[in-house]
């Protein structure tokens, strides 16, 4: 039996996530109108939301999703018509009131087939004040058999009235070995690929899944990574008079696909990190398939120069995070590298 609501592409998330509390909610038979999933980026909040939606709608009489019934499969595949995900529009920094109103129009009608409809607002802390006030009205009088999940990295931007209407569940960043185990055991990736993905994404499980190709909307990482590493290596070994031209060309290619820049920077970070630790811990580098090439390059450059590369990289990351122009920032980064070769 499914629980009753209270009056007020992917498999299951890792066991370290706060699933026990979500399972308890299902067992108790009272689904809150709104839950706040609070934690750092990549801590598995979206996977947990899917898990909870599956558990609430699973057609098997279990507290956990069976992953076999039609409902579980549709939710896992992102094809269920009653599972609504909302976040900032493409190339936008905020969730606007128009997006909230559009979502309100959708949930004003009956569910298509779910026992419980889910509205998951990703990056809920990026809602502008007008959007939050519009959402507040829905939280106060939610449609029947509908619950909201607000996934946020910060609570300060959220109105106290919204926070007071949410049951908060805290998430912690996952350790590297947990993500690696997840990729191998639950997603069937080989250990070598899982090692590279984990080293690239760090504790960000969302990015690891996106890079893996399991997320159909994600970056084509299998093509981006080797191409980008080869380009970086060619750039670092090019004669001085050619470096400036190569740097600007690489900047042009990357900035032409702004949706790939975040993942591209993650790959570049692993390259410079590998150079810094290669001398002391060659078995710990991320890009083991480029070990021979990296060894050749490390012979050509001093260790202090490699540390300078890493410093320039971190400065560039900060500039990109502060919303500096992508093309100009990448031009500056690669041109600076060409001066320290």
In the chain, what are the domains?
4-170 (3.40.50.300), 219-339 (1.20.272)
Query: By the 8 A CB rule, do 54 and 75 touch?
Result: yes
Helix ranges (H only) for the chain are: 19-28, 45-57, 70-76, 97-107, 129-140, 160-163, 176-185, 191-201, 205-212, 221-237, 240-255, 258-278, 291-300, 303-321, 326-339
CA dihedral 76, 77, 82, 83 (to 10 degrees): 60
Residue 218, pLDDT score: 54
> What's the Rg (C-alpha) of the chain?
23
Among the listed residues 312, 278, 318, the one whose alpha carbon sits nearest the alpha carbon of residue 295: 278
Rounded to two decimals, the pTM is 0.66
CA-CA distance, 180 to 196, in Å (whole number)?
A: 9
pLDDT tens digits for range 219-274:
577 888 999 999 999 888 888 778 888 888 999 999 998 888 989 999 999 999 99
pLDDT tens digits for range 324-339:
899 999 999 999 988 7
């Amino acid at each position: 039996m499914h629980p009753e609501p209270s009056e007020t592409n992917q498999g299951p998330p890792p066991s370290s996530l706060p699933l026990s509390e979500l399972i308890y909610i299902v067992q108790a038979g009272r689904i809150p109108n709104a839950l706040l999933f609070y934690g750092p980026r990549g801590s598995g909040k979206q996977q947990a939301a899917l898990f909870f939606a599956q558990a609430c709608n699973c057609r098997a009489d279990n507290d956990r999703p069976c992953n076999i019934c039609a409902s579980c499969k549709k939710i896992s595949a992102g094809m269920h018509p009653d599972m609504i995900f909302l976040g900032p529009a493409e190339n936008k920094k905020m969730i606007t009131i128009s997006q909230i109103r559009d979502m309100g129009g959708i949930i004003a009608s009956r569910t298509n087939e779910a026992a419980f409809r889910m509205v998951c607002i990703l990056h809920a802390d990026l809602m502008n004040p007008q959007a939050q006030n519009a959402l507040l009205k829905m939280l106060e009088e939610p449609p029947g058999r509908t619950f909201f999940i607000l996934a946020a990295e910060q609570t300060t931007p959220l109105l106290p009235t919204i926070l007071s209407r949410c049951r908060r569940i805290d998430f912690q960043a996952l350790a590297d070995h947990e993500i690696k185990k997840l990729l191998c055991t639950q997603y069937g990736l080989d250990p070598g690929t899982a090692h590279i993905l984990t080293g690239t994404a760090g504790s960000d499980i969302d990015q690891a899944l996106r890079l893996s190709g399991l997320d159909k909307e994600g970056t084509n990482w299998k093509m981006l990574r080797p191409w980008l590493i080869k380009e970086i290596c060619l750039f670092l070994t090019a004669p001085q008079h050619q470096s400036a031209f190569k740097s600007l060309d690489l900047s042009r290619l990357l900035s032409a696909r702004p949706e790939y820049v975040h993942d591209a920077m993650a790959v570049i970070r692993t390259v410079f990190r590998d150079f810094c630790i290669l001398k002391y811990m060659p078995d710990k580098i991320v890009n083991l398939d480029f070990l021979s090439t990296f060894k050749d390059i490390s012979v050509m450059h001093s260790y202090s120069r490699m540390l300078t590369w890493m410093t320039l990289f971190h400065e560039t990351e900060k500039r990109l995070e502060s919303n500096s122009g992508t093309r100009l920032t990448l031009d500056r980064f690669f041109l600076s590298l060409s001066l320290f070769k």
